[in-house]
Amino acid sequence: MARTLAATGFAHVGQHRSKPVQLWRQGDARVLLNAAAPAAAAGAAIGAFAVETADPGRAASAPPRCSPPSCRAAAAPPRPT
């Protein structure tokens, strides 16, 4: 994942003091890369997503512009066959 972030213009700009968590940045975009997360053993996964806004109340009340899958469905691991 670190190679992919670097290849897409992100720079490694920080390391957590005691955990295997790296901070990557590209302009105002920031990514936390957690090598201890369960998904790290299986490949890559997005564990959380956040955005910053000057008006959180307005952003929270705005209707969504897309239809993402439910968090429960997205977080469920695949069942063995």
Q: Which residues of 17-42 are buried (b: 16+ CB within 10 A; e: fewer)?
A: eeeeebebeeeeeebebbeebeeeee
**Residues facing residue 26 across a β-bridge:** 29
Q: How far apart are CA 67 and CA 76, in angstroms?
A: 18
18-41: pLDDT as tens digits: 988 899 988 888 888 888 766 656
Global pTM exceeds 0.75: no
Residue ranges of domains in the chain: 2-75
pLDDT in tens, the chain (81 residues): 888 889 989 999 999 999 888 999 888 888 888 887 666 566 666 666 677 788 888 877 877 766 555 544 444 455 555
- pLDDT at residue 74, as a whole number: 45
